[in-house]
Amino acid sequence: MSTAIVLALIASFCTATSSVCQRIGASTAPTGDKFTLKLLLYLARNPMWLAGVASLILGFVFQVVALHFGGLALVQPIFATELIFVFGYMAVIGRRNIRKTDWMAAVAMAAGLSVFLFTAAPSGGRVHPPATLWWLAGISALGLAAVVTVAAYVPLRRGSRPSPARKAATIGIATGISWGFVAAVIKEMSTHNTLGSALSSWTPYVLVGVGGLSMLLAAHALQAGPLAASQPGFTIVDPLVASLLGIFVFSEHLQLDPADLAVEALSLGALVWGVITLSHSRLIHGEDPESLAPEPPVNVRLNVDV
């Protein structure tokens, strides 16, 4: 269990690095009201965004190994610590004073996560779930992600446009749903002991397709509005969906005695409070543009409004 936790923390750090780099890269992309593949073509020429992709791939490798040693219900909640690492980046890069509320939120996240994992003690689970469960999980998760994505572009009032923050938050939730399903596929792939065995299964091909879709969703979420709006969807919805898939698809077991449930509910409440509080911190919501992006050319101003 300790090996899986350490590897998951490293993977979380890599994905946090990816979020920051990709947000910096995506913030210079032209805005628009349409969901399009052209955004990826634009970003593919941005060195900062490509650095974020490289960090995301590295995080993926650590995630695969972590899921080989631990179940979804154990590994994926640890990815909620991604926001703490983002918080750390903003504290260093943004050069802002850290408020007491920020530290309280960080402690609440770390303590809530530790208590939840200790109390829930995820264990067991089947190695290869049946195909019917995979079809049900895929249709449910990706269908919900599609509905949420469409909702991001639907105005609440006729004649108005969705706000950047609302669009980023909504697409961030869709991204978290998609990433949660990706984590389940990674878990299935990690059960194969050899590369040949993995390549002969369906998992790497679904992973490439859904992973590419998730990357496109993340790019649109990061480009649409502030990082503070999209990050909670990444960090809360992803482990939530993955843990649910771990329970219902892989039949992983949690401690569900009344006393355990009460402690788990309180710890998750602390975790969610910490994530939401940090996501609205000035360290993330109002960082200085010049501290987050490379020095712009003379007479050219970069607008990095994270």
**pLDDT tens digits for 38-67?**
777 778 888 888 998 899 899 988 988 888
pTM of the model: 0.74
What count of Cα atoms within 13 Å lies in the side-chain half-sphere of residue 267? 19
pLDDT beyond 60 at 285: no
In this prediction, residue 289 carries a pLDDT of 41
Give the span between the Cα atoms of 153 and 281, in whole angstroms.
26
Please write the tens of the pLDDT for every residue from 115-134. 887 787 766 677 788 899 99
Residue 200: CB atoms within 10 A of its CB come to 11
Please write the tens of the pLDDT for every residue from 208-249. 999 889 988 988 888 887 776 787 788 778 878 887 888 888
Please, what is the average pLDDT of the chain? 80
- CA–centroid distance for 99 within its chain: 25
How distant, in Å, are the alpha carbons of 43, 167, 248 from that of 224?
14, 6, 33
Q: Virtual CA dihedral for 19, 20, 23, 25, nearest 10 degrees?
A: -110
pLDDT beyond 90 at 4: no
How distant, in Å, are the alpha carbons of 42, 105, 162 from that of 125?
42, 33, 42
Q: What's the whole-number mean pLDDT along residues 18-29?
A: 81
pLDDT beyond 50 at 298: no
